[in-house]
Amino acid sequence: MPLRLVFMGTPDFAVPTLAAIVARGHDVTAVYTRAPQPAGRGMELRPSPVEREARRFGIAVLTPKTLRSPEAQDAFRAHAADAAVVVAYGLILPKPILDAPRLGCFNLHASALPRWRGAAPINRAIMAGDTETAVMVMRMAEGLDTGPVAMAARVAIGPDMTAGELHDELARCGADLMVRALDALERGSLQLSPQPEEGVTYAAKIDKSETRIDWTRPWRAVHDHCRGLSPFPGAWFELPNAGASPVRVKVLRTTRGEGTGAPGAVIDDKLTVACGDGAVRILELQRAGRQPMRAEEFLRGTPLAAGARLK
């Protein structure tokens, strides 16, 4: 018998899971998501990706600012859900909410827990040079991503893989994993295992202050920094601009380069940049206000001869 569910999520990462559980035939009685946010030049209110998907399915959408009020908690309990599915929702679920569904609240988390608990596990895994991560279904507890794990799928992180590419892979894997976990929950056969006490790390939200590229670091660290922040928020450097303000340029894709030089120096005609140890070759980048472009196209419009310095 299909489960009666509440779905709670906001960004693109959560959309495949919502679509998969609807396709599986579960009764999604309501979708909770963040309220529409102003975006674009006109700052028009734009609904979240999950809200758009929910409305496509004709599911009721709720956008409370908090779940801590008695009114919000009463409204949540009124759904009489068997379980809640939570994927990158954005609000803390207090204990009355966690306790409301008959079978519990289940979160899809994009890391190999207990490594990278918190807000930015995909970015942090790549920035740290991890070669493998996972997506996990966890029964939620009051702590930050501390609940017992029900199912996991391991995913390799390729040496040049970007956060955007890993995001999409984990979103696909996670949707399938959540459907399988709900099938087991429905049968009463879902097994839960406590997380190990060893190996806990935290994936803090990315701060703007850490997005600028530090060319004095070894090439591997620079490479991991750039791909771990690609495509958003983007690692960046500045170009001199003939007496005007410097031009900010995001680096979207890099690989290992050949050669050495002073950190930040361009050392060939293919946009290879020296680091504190070794070099990276920039393959794709984006000037402020422009579309992403390959390095060759960028160099046609912005010649950078060997010896130029990036800051």
What pLDDT is recorded for position 32?
Answer: 98
164 by DSSP, 3-state: which?
helix
Check: CB of residue 204 under 8 Å from CB of residue 120: yes
Task: Dump pLDDT digits (tens) for 143-155.
Answer: 999 999 999 999 9
- Model confidence at 196, in pLDDT bands (50, 70, 90)? very high
Percent pLDDT > 90 in the chain is 89
What pLDDT is recorded for position 271?
Answer: 95
Across the chain, the runs of DSSP E, i.e. the strands, are 4-9, 27-32, 37-39, 44-46, 61-62, 83-87, 105-109, 117-118, 132-139, 149-156, 202-203, 235-241, 244-257, 272-274, 279-287, 293-294
Task: Dump pLDDT digits (tens) for 44-92.
Answer: 889 999 999 999 999 999 999 999 999 999 999 999 999 999 999 999 9
Relative orientation angle of helices 163-187 and 15-23, to the nearest 10 degrees: 30
Torsion, Cα 253 278 221 195, to 10 degrees, reads: 110
Torsion, Cα 288 292 295 299, to 10 degrees, reads: -50
* Statement: the pTM of the whole predicted model exceeds 0.75: yes
| CA nearest to 166, candidates 132, 208, 217 | 132
Domains of the chain by start residue, with CATH: 4-202 (3.40.50.170), 208-301 (3.10.25.10)
Residue 179 has pLDDT above 90, yes or no: yes
